[in-house]
Structure 1
Amino acid sequence: MKESTKLTTSNISSLVGAGAGFDLMRYYTLPDFLGKDAPYLLYYMGKNMARQTEIHSFEELYEFFQYMGWGDLTLVKEKKKEMNFILTGHIIEKRLNQKLFEIDFRLECGFLAEIIHNLTENTYECFEEKNKKENLVEIKALKG
């Protein structure tokens, strides 16, 4: 990627998604290379990706998640020091119910934490909780 090229919803919409290949890299190959630090490093890879992304509103953020194949992100509750999101959709259901890998959403959490920081000028840390029964992921963004 050229240094001056930022990721936007406009320019990523032209990319071809290959979900299975991405999941194999993310849940099989990367943990093999990164070892026990994989979740930690994936979180910071998400933050780094967000630093290379131009998102100016929560609506653009939701659209970006869809283009990336990360699912449908929705803000469901906002408090003074906390935002609660859910991540849903066919992709999330498939990832939660597959039997090949132990999955996480650390990359998405890191990305979300950094974008919320950019949009609100406050530091946030994000944590996910998988809800296989309802086929969704709850993501809490806590103000630091």
Structure 2
Amino acid sequence: MRGNTTKINLDQLQSLVHTGAGYDLLRYYTLPDLLGKEAPFLLYYMGKNLARQSDMTTLDDIIQYFQQFGWGSLSISQEKKKETRFELSGHVLEKRLQNPLLEVDFRMEAGFLAEAVTVINDVNGEGFEEIDEKKYRVIFTVMHT
């Protein structure tokens, strides 16, 4: 267990060296195998925990974290009183969706967004994702409760 309580900031993320292939193999092969049928639920809460450990204060910070994590290009598509909708796109996402080797999901990203919006807006939020494979994008909806 990590004893350090320092939050992850964007400068620290920029100094990390990473490859998409290694991340994807761990994410879509190893973790589901280890977590079994509970994988989607646990990945969602792993995303929420990661957001709690990240130093964010604005929606723009969330967008930067997505970029630095290698999850793709995130944009805000709609803001309402009770929900915020995001769109995830980009080359990385397109490659993941096209790869027949991977059975991709976006539960970790949905959990991260739900908690990030909770932290920034001081509301409770739950995240849901919808994959649009034809347009190579994912639509996330964070409901504010």
C-alpha distance after superposition, 1:50-81 (max 9, x if no partner): 11111111111111110110111111111111
Partner of 2:64: 63
Q: Identity across aligned pairs (percent)?
A: 48
- Per the alignment, residue 74 of structure 1 pairs with 75
Residue 51 of structure 1 is matched in structure 2 by 52
Q: Which runs of 5+ in 1 are unaligned?
A: none
Give, in angstroms, the shift of residue 101 of structure 1: 2.1
Root mean square deviation of aligned Cα: 1.0
Segments of structure 2 that go 5 or more residues without pairing to the other structure are none
What is the CA–CA distance in structure 2 between the aligned matches of 1:58 and 1:82, rounded to whole Å?
Answer: 13
CA offsets 1:13-42 (integer angstroms, 9 cap, x no match): 100121111111111111111111101000
Give 1:3-82 correspondences, 5 Å limit: 3-82=4-83
Q: Indicate if the aligned counterparts of 2:96 and 2:102 stay in contact, CA closer than 8 A.
A: no
Taking structure 1 as the reference length, the TM-score comes to 0.96
Distance 1:76 1:19 in 2: 26
> Is residue 94 of structure 2 the alignment partner of residue 87 of structure 1?
no
TM-score between the two structures when normalised by the length of structure 2: 0.95
Query: Is 1:112–2:113 an aligned residue pair?
Result: yes
Give aligned pairs, total: 144
| Runs of 4+ with deviation above 4 angstroms | none
